[in-house]
Copies of this chain bind each other. A is one copy, B any other.
Amino acid sequence: MTAQQVEDLIHLGFAAKRKMLAIEEVRPHYVRARLPYRDSMLRPGNVLSGPALFSAADLVMYALVLSHLGPELMAVTANCNINFVAKAKPGDIVGEGRMIKLGRRLAVMEALLYSSAEPETLVAHVTGSYALPVKG
């Protein structure tokens, strides 16, 4: 699937009224996406919040599953582990998703998150497992 196809599929599934994210690149086992900045992403101390970062990681990993399995809107997050490693200054959230293991029942993935305000500084490292639908 192309980046635009993955992006359209996500917005279709969420019946999104606004642009949730832009898929910038899709390669086998790799996706890069950008979540546009919104004031609601901030927490006290003028940094991007944990939930905003989690949301970015979740969407990036979901895009990664979609890019491999097609319109698989029923893949479900089973487990997620997040290490927050630096304060994220206000900006877009850029996420790189990488497939660690694509099994029959579980997809295990990694997402690295950055703020566009400091694009060289990793702010969070996430690993997640998605349960894949059992094929009939």
Q: Which residues of A contact B (CB under 8 A)?
A: 13-15, 43-45, 49-51, 54-55, 58, 73-74, 76-87, 100-101, 103, 105-106, 108, 110, 122, 125, 127, 129, 131
Contacts and interface: CB of A to CB of B under 8 A. Distances in A.
Nearest to A87: B76
Nearest to A123: B101
Contacts of A108: 83, 85, 125
Given A54-B50, A55-B51, A83 B100 contact: yes
Nearest to A74: B45
Contact of A125 (B58, B77, B100): B100
Contacts of A103: 85
